[in-house]
């Protein structure tokens, strides 16, 4: 066991404070990672506030982890000391069910995926995430960060990047396809970059035009404010695919009207309250409303390699650990451009 410094939420809705947590001894197939950077995902905030239901406290959030391997277990074959690596939203799963075998570990039907934090590992111990100095992870749940990607802008790819890459690929974003990204926050701005790199015609649907210049710079072809009712008249029947990254409940009926016939609205946002859906919004036009959760380990590696090849990292605001609480407030106010990343040397 190793004691490491961390930032933790002591109880639901309480501010984060500095503490220490224990990391398990490096096992046969484990790697010890010196964490360099950890992104702040809106999911960290939902869980720290118990917005998704009962959570485990103290909680060390953080599932956008970039660092360097500093020790490997005797059975480790994929990584060596000094390798640049990342860890995303899961640190384990059953390894055996149909989904795990198919590389969809995030949908493990055996034990369920073990979350990087706010979960219990196989020994029944709580897991603690990336707002800390070091973490011990089974090598099968670790990915390699390509040399061309700096670790600070790579960290957010481990959740925000894969969460957009996976549905964009699954629903065929590419040349000739009109794709809308709903919400221009941490996930949304990655969606703009990745959909553009895949060759799609990209539209941002944001609450206002405040971030329009940035959106166009990051690769969007069009940018519209959803606060303007004219947007819904102008864009009716336009998109092959809409990916919603919105963290709050939304009128999905209005957005389904923006799809072409047989278009798909893939939702990745995880609001704390249910939404109302009029099923007639799907019937006319044969539309699909779908969901997607992060991506598997092999797909996460594919995404990192794709991002490195296209020079894609996150747009980040690097902060010290003492600024995490303030950063949470800014994320809640849609005032993030576009991902806060913690320099873990400040912990
Ligand atoms: P974020 O940085 O806060 O971005 C969310 C964006 O949604 C905001 O920037 C804002 O964009 C828009 N928005 C917020 N409140 C809104 C409202 N009331 N009405 C309309 N638009 C609103 O959050 P994030 O880290 O990207 O995460 C987004 C959501 O995805 C969260 O719920 C998170 O838990 C979830 N998530 C899901 C997965 C998954 O695997 N499915 C993975 C990671 C995160 P504009 O300012 O442009 O309007
Ligand atoms: Zn996340």
* CA-closest candidate to residue 60, choices 9, 111, 122: 9
Structure tokens at 342: 């913690």
Same domain for 238 and 303: no
* CA-closest candidate to residue 116, choices 65, 167, 155: 65
Same domain for 304 and 282: no
Per-residue model confidence as pLDDT tens digits over 290-304: 999 999 999 999 999
Same domain for 260 and 204: yes
Same domain for 120 and 8: yes
> Roughly what angle, to the nearest 10 degrees, separates helices 186-197 and 160-170?
40
Q: What is the pTM of this model?
A: 0.98
What would the mean pLDDT of 42-48 be, rounded to a whole number? 98
Q: How far is the CA of 41 from the centre of ligand 1 (A)?
A: 9
Q: Is the pLDDT of residue 180 over 90?
A: yes
Same domain for 256 and 188: yes
CATH number of the domain encompassing residue 18: 3.90.180.10
Average predicted confidence (pLDDT) for the chain: 98
Same domain for 300 and 155: yes
Q: How far is the CA of 46 from the centre of ligand 1 (A)?
A: 11
Model confidence band, residue 289 (pLDDT cutoffs 50, 70, 90): very high
Per-residue model confidence as pLDDT tens digits over 182-197: 999 999 999 999 999 9
* CA-closest candidate to residue 243, choices 190, 193, 191: 191
Pairing label, strands 84-87, 259-267: unpaired
Structure tokens at 181: 């990204």
Same domain for 324 and 312: yes
Whole-angstrom distance, CA of residue 202 vs CA of residue 218? 10
Residue 77 structural domain: 2-159+295-346
Same domain for 35 and 129: yes
Other CB atoms within 10 Å distance of the CB of residue 318: 14
Number of domains in the chain: 2
- At residue 103, the pLDDT reads 98
- At residue 112, the pLDDT reads 96
CATH number of the domain encompassing residue 173: 3.40.50.720
- At residue 55, the pLDDT reads 98
Same domain for 277 and 165: yes
Q: How far is the CA of 261 from the centre of ligand 2 (A)?
A: 31
Nearest protein CA to atom 19 of ligand 1, as residue = 248
Same domain for 227 and 183: yes
Residue that the structure tokens 């819904």 belong to: 232
Last residue of a domain, one of 251, 276, 291: 291
Whole-angstrom distance, CA of residue 158 vs CA of residue 240? 26
Same domain for 265 and 190: yes
- At residue 177, the pLDDT reads 98
Nearest protein CA to atom 13 of ligand 1, as residue = 246
Nearest protein CA to atom 31 of ligand 1, as residue = 247
What percent of the chain clears pLDDT 90, i.e. is strictly above it?
Answer: 99
- At residue 186, the pLDDT reads 98
What would the mean pLDDT of 206-213 be, rounded to a whole number? 97
Same domain for 302 and 237: no
């Amino acid at each position: 066991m190793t004691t490491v410094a961390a930032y933790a939420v002591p109880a639901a809705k309480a501010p984060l404070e500095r503490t220490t947590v224990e990391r398990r001894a490096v096992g046969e197939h484990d790697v010890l990672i010196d964490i360099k950077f950890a992104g702040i995902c809106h999911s960290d905030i939902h869980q720290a506030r118990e917005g998704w239901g009962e959570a485990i406290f103290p909680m060390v959030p953080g599932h956008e982890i970039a660092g360097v391997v500093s020790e490997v277990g005797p059975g480790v074959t994929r990584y060596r000391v000094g390798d640049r690596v990342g860890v995303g939203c899961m640190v384990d799963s059953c390894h055996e069910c149909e989904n795990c075998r198919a590389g969809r570990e995030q949908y493990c039907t055996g034990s369920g995926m073990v979350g990087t934090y706010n979960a219990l590992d196989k020994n029944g111990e709580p897991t603690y995430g990336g707002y800390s100095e070091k973490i011990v992870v089974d090598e099968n749940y670790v990915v390699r960060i390509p040399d061309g990607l700096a670790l600070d802008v790579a960290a957010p790819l481990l959740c925000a990047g894969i969460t957009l890459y996976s549905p964009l690929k699954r629903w065929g974003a590419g040349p000739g396809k009109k794709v809308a990204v709903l919400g221009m926050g941490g996930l949304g701005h990655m969606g703009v970059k990745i959909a553009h790199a895949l060759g799609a015609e990209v539209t941002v649907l944001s609450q206002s035009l405040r971030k329009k210049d940035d959106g166009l710079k990051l690769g969007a072809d069009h940018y519209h404010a959803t606060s303007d009712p004219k947007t819904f008249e102008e864009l009716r029947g336009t998109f092959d695919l809409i990916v919603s990254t919105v963290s709050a409940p939304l009128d999905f009926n209005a957005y389904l009207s923006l799809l072409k016939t047989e278009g798909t609205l893939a939702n990745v946002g995880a609001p704390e309250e249910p939404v109302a859906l009029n099923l007639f919004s799907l019937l006319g036009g044969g539309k699909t409303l779908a969901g997607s959760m992060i991506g598997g380990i092999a797909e996460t590696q594919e995404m990192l390699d794709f991002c490195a090849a296209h020079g894609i990292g996150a747009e980040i605001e690097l902060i010290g650990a003492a600024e995490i609480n303030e950063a949470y407030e800014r994320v809640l106010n849609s005032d993030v451009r576009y991902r806060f990343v913690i320099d873990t040397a400040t912990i």
